[in-house]
Every structure is written in C-alpha cells, then in structure tokens.
C-alpha cells in the first residue's frame, strides 16, 4: 500500500506490536461468544493509547486528533474493532473542550492513567432518531441537582464504562429561540446511576457491539456534573461529533487496508484452473479499485484531522471523510468477500466478521443521507430539507 510511512511511524509500530499480541482467534472467539474484548481494552488503556489526547498537565501525552486517528486506524488494520473503545477517545475531546478546570482535574488524570473509562455518549432516542433537537429526555434543575426522565436507545459500551456523557433538554423546545438551544450535557457516574433511576437493557445486534436501551426514571445528577453552560449542550456535542466522525473515518481506513491486504493475500495463494486467482483481471481489478478508494478517502481523513488539530472549522471535511472512508471500507469488504469465494463466509477467515463490523459505519454514528444533507446545506448553500 502507498501510505506506509508517515510522521506517526513510531505510534503505528507500537500499536501494531500491542495488537499483534491479540490474534484473529481472540476476536473470533469474542465475536462468537458475543463478549467484550476486556483484556485487549485493558492493554490499550494501560499502555496509555486511549488517553492519547489528554494534555501533559493532566497526565496524558497531549497528542492531537491526527495521532489518535492513527491509533484507531491501526487497531482496525490489525483485525480488531475500535468499536469497543472509540467512545472513550472522542468523549475525551468533549471534556477537554468544554469542562471546567475543576472537572478536568477531577476526571482527566484517572482517565489518562487508564483507571477510569468514559466510553459512552447518550444522544439517540427511540422516537426522534436523527432529529436530535426534538429529544424528549429532560433534566429539570431542583435543589442543587438535575432530575432526569426519558429514554435513550443504541447507547454503546454502557456496561463497560464508568462514566457517560448524556444529552438532555433543560429548556422546553417551545420556550427556546432556536431549536438547537436549551439542551445540556452532563457527566453521569454509571456506577451510582444504574439501579438508582437508570435502567439498562442490552440490544442484541448484527455486530458484536455492546449497545443498550436506557430508561431514566427520576435519575438525580449533581449540579456540578453539568458540562459547560446550561442550554449549550448541542453545540458542545456537535464539536465532539466532528472528532467522532474523523475517528470513525480512520477506523474505516484501517478496515479498508485490512480487507485489501487479505484479498491480495488470498488472491495470490488460491490456485484454481492451475493458476493463482489473482492472475485474472476479473479478480485483481476490483481489488485495485478498492485500494484506490481507500487511499483517496485517507487523504480527506488527514485533511479533517489537520483542520481539527489547528482548531479550524472542519465540519465539512469530517463529514466528507466519514462518508468516503465508510464507502471505501464497505466496497473493500465486498471485494474481499468476493475474492474469498465460499471461504469468505467461513468464520475462520474473519472476513465475514469484519464485513459485518464495517457495514455499521454507513448508518452510525451518522447515516449517509444525513451527510449528503449536511453537504447540500452547509457546503453548497442549498435550502435546508428538514
Ligand atoms: C450499533 C449501533 C451503535 C450505536 N451507538 C450509539 C451511541 O453510543 N450513542 C448514540 O447516541 N447513538 C448510537 N447509535 C445510534 C446511531 O447514531 C443512529 O442509529 C443513527 O444516527 C441513525 O439514527 P436512527 O437509527 O434513529 O435512524 P432514523 O433517524 O430513524 O433514520 C432512518 C433512516 O432514514 C434516513 N433519514 C431520516 N431522516 C431523513 C431525511 N430527512 N432525509 C433523508 N434521509 C433521512 C436515515 O438516513 C436512515 O437511513 C448507534 C447505532 C447503532 C446501530
């Protein structure tokens, strides 16, 4: 592949080495058991990779989104799935950009030391879906605390996290000037909340992704757990989403390289009609096509990272990177499966597992249509469609 050397060579090597200790069999077994890769995640946390963006003053190495994206890319490129950890990485961005100094001192050193997980972000609701400003979960301020009632759906990694970032409406939609106003974000201590106003129910799903329905029934959150200013939570979430989209793009790039590499390997090894199948243009051209698309998407991913790290507007590039990379990884997944013929469907080749995993990124964390809509409105100046 073209992109073998870049300035993050040392990070790549170190993450590859760690991931190399967790072979395909490990992830295959976890997938079969619908388990969580606890040992793998602990190893990543202990090595400090998941707190990469935490500044030195709070105990982290102070790396940027570009470096963090290289870490998640390498995880996916190794055959693992960053879906088990990426929430932790992008929630750190939300804390860094919006928390008070006291909150940063309270949480960041333990997160950097790998002792505290902030894996979950609760935005999506069953009755409103992508129409986030209509969320019905409310947080009402009362005697030094907020009382939360409502419901969320598809909230991931809650069972493997200590903390969760929660978006709730603090001013009714009917009383705000703009519908994006009047929502706030909070840090929820999951150990205190579950069983005391928060009930969770796992959602079995196509990917081995730990994700849940959440039910809030008078959950009390201390006032000091409000992040930033009350009513500005949606803006804070959007900033975090640019990081999330860029990281997902990098994961898809990692998947894309994995699929292309596996397809090339199999095309060279598999002999049919007395020659490697890769000698046929009908087999090699789709792999070449997949490679070109992954490389092209990778450029937009690095563009988005660069803008984010220099604190320049990056909404368009983050969305475009996510769109291109998710499309490229899905194309590469199809090509890899086709190249493997029947064996692509056998669990032991891991292609079908990665195929399922990478499919998610056309839908979550933002669906392709919503990216088209963003570009139509914000880049092209077309009328807002909803
Ligand atoms: C495995 C998994 C993990 C997830 N993890 C989390 C998480 O941790 N936290 C969290 O908050 N959410 C999470 N989500 C939710 C995810 O972000 C949403 O599923 C996604 O944003 C799409 O929302 P929806 O499912 O409600 O689809 P809907 O909003 O119901 O949309 C359904 C379809 O209609 C299309 N559509 C809707 N409106 C329009 C329109 N105006 N124009 C064109 N097309 C439109 C959409 O593109 C989509 O394809 C997760 C989802 C999954 C599947």
How many Cβ atoms sit within 10 Å of the Cβ of residue 159? 15
Kindly report, residue by residue over 61-88, the tens digit of the pLDDT. Answer: 999 999 999 999 999 999 999 999 999 9
- Could you give the C-alpha distances from 297 to 263, 294, 300, 303, 363, in angstroms and in order? 19, 5, 5, 10, 18
What rounded mean pLDDT belongs to the chain? 97
* pLDDT confidence band for 60 (50 / 70 / 90): very high
Residue pair 80/40 in contact (Cβ under 8 Å)? The answer is: yes
Kindly report, residue by residue over 186-212, the tens digit of the pLDDT. Answer: 999 999 999 999 999 999 999 999 999
Kindly report, residue by residue over 123-140, the tens digit of the pLDDT. Answer: 999 999 999 999 999 999
Pairing, β 211-222 against β 163-169: unpaired
* pLDDT confidence band for 2 (50 / 70 / 90): low
Kindly give the number of the ligand 1 atom that is closest to the alpha carbon of 122: 11
Kindly give the number of the ligand 1 atom that is closest to the alpha carbon of 209: 1
Question: For ligand 1, atom 18, which residue shows the shortest CA distance?
Answer: 364
Q: Is 47 in the pocket of ligand 1 (CB under 6 A)?
A: no
Residue pair 266/340 in contact (Cβ under 8 Å)? The answer is: yes
Q: Give 137-181 as a DSSP string.
A: -EEEEETTEEEEEEEEEEEETGGG-SEEEEEEESS-GGG-SSTTS
pLDDT at 7 over 80: no
Residue 18's pLDDT is 98
Residue 103's pLDDT is 98
Question: For ligand 1, atom 36, which residue shows the shortest CA distance?
Answer: 369
Q: What residues does 214 pair with on adjacent strands?
A: 152, 200
Residue pair 67/55 in contact (Cβ under 8 Å)? The answer is: no
For the chain, state the CA radius of gyration: 21
* pLDDT confidence band for 3 (50 / 70 / 90): low
Q: Is 203 in the pocket of ligand 1 (CB under 6 A)?
A: no
Mean pLDDT of 42-50: 96
Ligand 1 centroid to Cα of residue 19, in Å, is 30
Kindly report, residue by residue over 306-360, the tens digit of the pLDDT. Answer: 999 999 999 999 999 999 999 999 999 999 999 999 999 999 999 999 999 999 9
Percent of the chain residues topping a pLDDT of 90: 97
pLDDT at 4 over 60: no
* pLDDT confidence band for 14 (50 / 70 / 90): very high
Q: Is 250 in the pocket of ligand 1 (CB under 6 A)?
A: no
Q: Is 273 in the pocket of ligand 1 (CB under 6 A)?
A: no
Tell me which residue of 216, 214, 162 sits closest to 188, measured CA to CA: 162
* pLDDT confidence band for 38 (50 / 70 / 90): very high
In whole angstroms, what is the distance from residue 35 CA to residue 41 CA? 12
Kindly report, residue by residue over 239-265, the tens digit of the pLDDT. Answer: 889 999 999 999 999 999 999 999 999
Residue 95: burial class (beta carbons within 10 Å; 0-12, 13-18, 19+): buried
Helix (H) or strand (E) holding 312, with range, is: none
* 307 φ, ψ (degrees, to nearest 5): -65, -45
Q: Is 182 in the pocket of ligand 1 (CB under 6 A)?
A: no
367 HSE (CA, 13 A, CB side)? 7
Kindly give the number of the ligand 1 atom that is closest to the alpha carbon of 126: 26
Ligand 1 centroid to Cα of residue 300, in Å, is 23
Residue 305's pLDDT is 98
Would you state the structure tokens that stand for residue 286, as one six-digit string?
């789709």
- Could you give the C-alpha distances from 8 to 14, 15, 59, 112, in angstroms and in order? 10, 11, 21, 20
In whole angstroms, what is the distance from residue 208 CA to residue 356 CA? 9
Helix (H, G, I), strand (E, B) or coil at 226: strand
Question: For ligand 1, atom 17, which residue shows the shortest CA distance?
Answer: 365
Q: Is 121 in the pocket of ligand 1 (CB under 6 A)?
A: yes
Residue pair 351/336 in contact (Cβ under 8 Å)? The answer is: yes
Q: Is 237 in the pocket of ligand 1 (CB under 6 A)?
A: no
pLDDT at 266 over 90: yes
Ligand 1 centroid to Cα of residue 368, in Å, is 10
Q: Is 364 in the pocket of ligand 1 (CB under 6 A)?
A: yes
Q: Is 156 in the pocket of ligand 1 (CB under 6 A)?
A: yes
Q: Is 205 in the pocket of ligand 1 (CB under 6 A)?
A: yes
Q: Which residues of 182-191 are buried (b: 16+ CB within 10 A; e: fewer)?
A: bbbbbbbebe
Kindly report, residue by residue over 158-170, the tens digit of the pLDDT. Answer: 999 999 999 999 9
Sign of CA dihedral 247, 249, 250, 256: positive
Ligand 1 centroid to Cα of residue 253, in Å, is 21
Would you state the structure tokens that stand for residue 153, as one six-digit string?
């759906």
pLDDT at 5 over 80: no
pLDDT at 363 over 80: yes
Q: How many residues does the chain have?
A: 386
Question: For ligand 1, atom 19, which residue shows the shortest CA distance?
Answer: 364
Q: Is 370 in the pocket of ligand 1 (CB under 6 A)?
A: yes
Residue 239's pLDDT is 85
């Amino acid at each position: 592949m073209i992109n073998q050397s870049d300035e993050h060579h040392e990070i790549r090597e170190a993450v590859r080495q760690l991931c190399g200790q967790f072979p395909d069999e490990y992830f295959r077994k976890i997938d079969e058991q619908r388990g969580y890769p606890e040992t793998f995640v602990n190893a990543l946390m202990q090595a400090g990779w998941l707190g990469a963006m935490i500044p030195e003053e709070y105990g982290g190495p102070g790396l940027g989104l570009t470096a963090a994206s290289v870490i998640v890319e390498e995880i996916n490129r190794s055959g693992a799935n960053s879906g088990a950890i990426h929430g932790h990485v992008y929630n750190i961005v939300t804390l860094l950009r919006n928390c008070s100094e006291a909150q940063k001192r309270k949480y960041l050193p333990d997160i950097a030391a790998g002792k505290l997980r902030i894996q979950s972000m609760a935005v999506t609701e069953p009755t409103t879906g992508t129409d986030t400003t209509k969320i019905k979960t409310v947080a009402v301020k009362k005697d030094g605390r907020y009382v939360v009632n409502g419901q969320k759906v598809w909230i991931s990694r809650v069972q493997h996290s200590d903390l969760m970032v929660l978006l709730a409406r603090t001013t009714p939609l009917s009383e705000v000037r703009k519908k994006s106003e009047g929502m706030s974000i909070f840090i929820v201590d999951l150990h205190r909340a579950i069983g005391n106003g928060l009930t969770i129910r796992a959602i079995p799903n196509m990917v081995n992704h730990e994700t849940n329905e959440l039910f809030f029934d008078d959950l009390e959150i201390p006032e000091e757990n409000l992040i930033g200013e009350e009513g500005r939570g949606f803006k804070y979430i959007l900033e975090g989403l640019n990081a999330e989209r860029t990281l997902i793009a990098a994961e898809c790039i990692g998947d894309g390289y994995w699929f292309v590499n596996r397809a090339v390997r199999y095309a060279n090894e598999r002999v049919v009609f007395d020659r490697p199948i890769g000698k046929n243009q009908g087999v090699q051209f789709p792999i070449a096509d997949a490679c070109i698309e992954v490389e092209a998407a990778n450029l937009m991913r690095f563009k988005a990272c660069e803008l984010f790290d220099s604190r320049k507007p990056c909404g368009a590039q983050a969305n475009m990177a996510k769109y291109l990379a998710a499309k490229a990884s899905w194309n590469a997944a199809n090509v890899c499966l086709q190249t493997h013929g029947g064996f692509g469907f056998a669990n032991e080749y891991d292609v079908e597992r990665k195929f399922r995993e990478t499919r998610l990124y056309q839908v979550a964390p933002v669906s392709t249509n919503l990216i088209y809509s963003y570009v139509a409105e914000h880049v092209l100046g077309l009328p807002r469609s909803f």
